[in-house]
Amino acid sequence: MSIRLPLVVGNWKLNGDRELLTSMVARLKQFDADKVETVICPPYVYLNEDTDGVKKGAQSVSTQDAGAFTGEVAGRMLRDVGCHYVIVGHSERRELFGESDEVVAAKVKATLDAGLIPIICVGETDEERENNQTTERVTQQVKAVLDELPSYSDSLVFAYEPVWAIGTGKTASCEQAEEVHAMIRQVLAGYNQELAETTRILYGGSVKPENSKELFASDNIDGGLIGGASLDVESFATICENAVA
């Protein structure tokens, strides 16, 4: 049995409402937390809701702890309302909000400083894959974070999300995903062997009930970061079921 508990995270992006949160919580509560860890990441305003033990995550975080930063939310505030996780470096944040590798590293630090677990998204664009730059780009993104950490925290999660597969309906094949996941684990091993063995690496990019079982069966895929399919209670529950250890 793997030492890495499967983890399935729903990234709602700018979607969902209180009603969806209530029905999602009721369904996810039925899972045995020793067999699969499930997390909901709704928009910030819903993070204050009581999710009855179902874990919550934020979709981003400020690099700052307090001060004149209009519109920002600090890690300590997320912890205050019961969050466990923060998604950092999602490709939409990188592309639409200009978050560089340096900003992503600062957000990972802010997350860890607040006692939360960052889910660090990495992945190549279509063009980078076509130019055989997948290994180079993903390695660069992973190292940009690890090089900035004072020690190799055991509280990191990575998510490999090929940009070309997010919200497009195109999923990486199991072989393509497994190859990159194994490569990320090798990069982690270059820092610390235990880090490589214990860090969960999720796959994200058009994961659906139909393709999740096969993806999660791969040795180095420890669960999923789910966008579109996390907005439907039964689809997300089926994906969680397919991740059960």
Per the CB < 8 A criterion, the answer to whether 7 and 157 are in contact is yes
Q: Which helix (H) or strand (E) holds 106?
A: helix 101-113
Q: Which two tokens stand for residue 149?
A: 């950490």
Residue 16 touches ligand PEP, criterion: CB under 6 A: no
Q: Which helix (H) or strand (E) holds 120?
A: strand 117-122
Residue 60 touches ligand PEP, criterion: CB under 6 A: no
Per the CB < 8 A criterion, the answer to whether 119 and 157 are in contact is yes
Half-sphere exposure of residue 139: CA atoms within 13 angstroms, side-chain side: 13
Q: Which helix (H) or strand (E) holds 216?
A: helix 209-216
Residue 228 touches ligand PEP, criterion: CB under 6 A: yes
Residue 122's nearest CA partner among 206, 168, 180, 186 is 180
Q: How many CB atoms lie within 10 A of CB 18?
A: 10
The window from 22-30, 69-77, 138-146, 224-232 that contacts ligand PEP (CB under 6 A) reads: 224-232
Is 210 known to be catalytic?
no
Binders in 73-92 for ligand PEP, by CB under 6 A: 90
Interface with ligand PEP (CB under 6 A), residue from 105, 201, 221, 225: 225
Q: Which residue is nearest to ligand PEP (CB)?
A: 227
Task: Show the binding pattern over residues 178-217: x = contacts ligand PEP (CB under 6 A), - = does not.
Answer: --------------------------xxxx----------
Q: Which residue has the tokens 């909000």?
A: 97
Local structure of 177: helix, strand or coil: helix
Spatial distance between the Cα atoms of 170 and 158, rounded to a whole number of angstroms = 20
Residue 141 touches ligand PEP, criterion: CB under 6 A: no
Local structure of 90: helix, strand or coil: coil
Residue 144 touches ligand PEP, criterion: CB under 6 A: no
**Catalytic residue of the set 99, 128, 161, 178:** 161
Least separation in angstroms between residue 240's CB and ligand PEP is 14
Least separation in angstroms between residue 235's CB and ligand PEP is 10
Least separation in angstroms between residue 119's CB and ligand PEP is 9
Backbone angles phi, psi at 12, to 5 degrees: -75, -15
Is 90 known to be catalytic?
yes
Least separation in angstroms between residue 137's CB and ligand PEP is 17
Interface with ligand PEP (CB under 6 A), residue from 99, 101, 124, 161: 161
Interface with ligand PEP (CB under 6 A), residue from 6, 7, 8, 11: 11
Per the CB < 8 A criterion, the answer to whether 227 and 167 are in contact is yes
- Give me the residues that bind ligand PEP (CB under 6 A), please: 11, 90, 161, 166-167, 204-207, 225-229
Active site residues: 90, 161
